[in-house]
Amino acid sequence: MRGGSLSHPEVIEALKPFIVTSWYVSNADFGEMPAELLRLQREAGLRHEGNIGCFVLDEKARLVRGFHPWPGPTPNSLGFDKDRMGRHLRAEIDKATKEMKLPEVKKEERPIKLPDVERGVRIFLKLDSRTASFRTPVVETVPSKPVDAQVLAWPREEREIPVEKLKAWFDPIFPPGVMDQGPGTYARFGGRLTIKPAGPRAAVLSGDVELVMGDRGATAIRGRLEVALAYEADAMKSLRGVFEGNYPKRDPMRGGVHDIRMTAAIESRPD
Amino acid sequence: MRTLLALAGFLAVQDGGTAKILEKYSAARPAERELAFFRHDWEPSYEKAKERAAREGRPIFLVAISNLNGYDNLYTGHC
């Protein structure tokens, strides 16, 4: 839905007057859905077989209309066709807004506004897969902690950085579309990272990394991290980097494992 | 964007491996067309969306994912 119907130009246009939000299952509320959402589902007459519900609410959060984003429980009913899914969602939104008085919006395209953090890193994760939910970029942010400055301090000479020290970066680099995983997926971090000078005010942090999940099979993502860092005096000012790895995805239906290439671009915030 | 290019230029001049890393980073960072989802006026928290809607007199479009077996963050994409 994220890379399909919600990215469709007609849906983006239709939702211009709206504040767009979502409710999802976080690590804190597994197995529970707030009473307010259950009430919205009930008022909208949504069935439970589709696990995604869309709700058009007025400015006082009162239900105008609720619907599933596809004419069936899964996008399969529209052949996973992005254009058909987008046009279907647009038609459902139009049904809801027909009687609404919507605020006026600017004609020009709204600029892209990415998840951001006051001070930290932003991570763009992509998986090279035929499955659309894997291909659509994940964008996560990680706030800096005071200890990060120490870990990434200017290397007068090459030194080792334990992979565990960069746990906060690796935690969000887990594959999307894998339902039993969330933040804190990795039970163990292995590999070897070093940081070394690469010029008067630059350094390179690199090495092979192993991210081991806490699942029964201890699925391990193995890859390489390479980061270029710029310094002002001894303090890290900015960084750009990439993690390239392989996710050995088990096929529960046919058995076996196939590798999916994972790539994460990492950048410091603010620029 | 200008700062990004300035930094990229700065690091490329230093080299010592930084230029190649910046190339890989640029190739890995998604293009604008891949990030169209972020053209919406997102408010990741439903509670904050309600506050903003009341304040700004605007409607809300809520996507609720009720798969109670797993973590599903539509906004970041881990879903």
Per-residue pLDDT at A120 exceeds 90: yes
Residue B27 to residue A150: CA distance in whole angstroms = 29
Record: contact B59-A21, CB cut-off 8 A:
no
Q: What sign does the CA torsion over A48, B44, A65, A108 have?
A: negative
Q: How far is B76 from chain A (nearest CA, A)?
A: 5
- At position A177, the amino acid (one-letter code) is G
Identify from B2, B63, B67 which residue to disrupt to test chain A contact, counting A C-beta atoms within 10 A and taking the largest count: B63
Q: Are A88 and A71 in contact (CB under 8 A)?
A: yes
Q: Which residue of A has its CA nearest to B75?
A: A22
* pLDDT value of position B7: 61
Please give the ipTM for the structure prediction.
0.88
Tokens of A7: 């990215």
| Residue A183 neighbours by CB under 8 Å, 6+ apart | A27, A171, A172, B71
Q: How confident is the model at residue A258 (pLDDT cuts 50, 70, 90)?
A: confident
pLDDT tens digits, A126-150: 988 766 666 789 999 999 987 788 9
- At position A125, the amino acid (one-letter code) is L
pLDDT tens digits, B6-63: 565 556 556 778 999 999 999 999 999 899 999 999 998 899 999 999 999 999 999 9
pLDDT tens digits, A179-188: 556 667 899 9
Record: contact B42-A20, CB cut-off 8 A:
yes
| Residue A120 neighbours by CB under 8 Å, 6+ apart | A141, A142, A143, A144, A268, A269
Find the CB nearest A204 among B21, B30, B35.
B21
pLDDT mean over A4-31: 83
Which residues in chain B have their CB less than 8 angstroms from residue A31's CB? Answer: 68
Least confident span in A37-41, A110-114, A189-193? A37-41
pLDDT tens digits, A156-176: 999 999 999 999 999 999 888
* pLDDT value of position B70: 62
pTM of the full structure:
0.90
Q: What sign does the CA torsion over B78, A252, A263, A173 have?
A: positive
Tokens of A95: 């049904």
Residue A76 to residue A40: CA distance in whole angstroms = 25
Identify from B4, B41, B71 which residue to disrupt to test chain A contact, counting A C-beta atoms within 10 A and taking the largest count: B71
Instruction: Return the number of other C-beta atoms located less than 10 Å from residue A156's C-beta.
Output: 9
Q: How confident is the model at residue A31 (pLDDT cuts 50, 70, 90)?
A: low
* pLDDT value of position A267: 96
Higher pLDDT, B77 or A229: A229
Per-residue pLDDT at A178 exceeds 80: no
For A55, A75, A168, A258, B75, the CA distances from A81, given in Å and listed in that order, are: 22, 8, 36, 25, 21
Record: contact A181-B25, CB cut-off 8 A:
no
* pLDDT value of position B2: 47
* pLDDT value of position A87: 94
pLDDT tens digits, A198-214: 988 899 999 999 999 98
- At position A23, the amino acid (one-letter code) is W
Q: How confident is the model at residue A76 (pLDDT cuts 50, 70, 90)?
A: confident
Per-residue pLDDT at A59 exceeds 90: yes
Find the CB nearest A263 among B11, B28, B56.
B28
Which residues in chain A have their CB less than 8 angstroms from residue B58's CB? Answer: 17-19, 59, 103
Find the CB nearest B16 among A37, A204, A267.
A204
Per-residue pLDDT at B67 exceeds 70: no
Higher pLDDT, A168 or A254: A168
Residue A245 to residue A170: CA distance in whole angstroms = 12
Residue A151 to residue A160: CA distance in whole angstroms = 10
